[in-house]
């Protein structure tokens, strides 16, 4: 939930910034994103999407993620 909360406050943040801000390792973040980004058909939640901006990977809430933040 910390990743979702952070993205609700600041969408488009890079994965490195999330890693540092939350104090988690990149491997732990990647495992969490595998669940948060994947669709339900793939066993995920579909709450976050990633976008490549040059060499940076940025994180964004999906419409489903935004609804979750509006209805805690």
Please give the domain boundaries of the chain with CATH numbers for all domains.
Answer: 2-70 (1.10.10.10)
Q: What is the pTM of this model?
A: 0.86
Furthest CA-CA distance within the chain: 34
Of 2, 51, 10, 7, residue with least CA distance to 28: 2
pLDDT at 53: 86
Band of residue 5 on the pLDDT scale cut at 50, 70, 90: very high
For 13-29, letters b (16+ CB in 10 Å) and e give: bebeebbeeeebeeeeb
The string of pLDDT tens digits covering residues 10-64 is 999 999 999 999 999 999 999 999 999 987 777 789 999 999 989 999 999 999 9
Of 15, 17, 5, 6, residue with least CA distance to 51: 15
pLDDT at 22: 95
Measure the CA–CA gap between 5 and 19, rounded to whole angstroms. Answer: 14
pLDDT at 72: 59
Phi, psi of 46 (to 5 degrees): 65, 35
């Amino acid at each position: 939930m910390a990743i979702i909360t952070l993205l609700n406050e600041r969408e488009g943040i890079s994965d490195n910034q999330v890693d540092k801000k939350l104090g988690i390792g990149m491997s732990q973040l990647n495992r969490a994103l595998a669940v948060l980004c994947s669709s339900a058909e793939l066993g995920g939640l579909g709450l976050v999407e990633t976008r490549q901006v040059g060499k940076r990977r940025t994180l964004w809430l999906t419409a489903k993620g935004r609804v979750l933040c509006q209805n805690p």
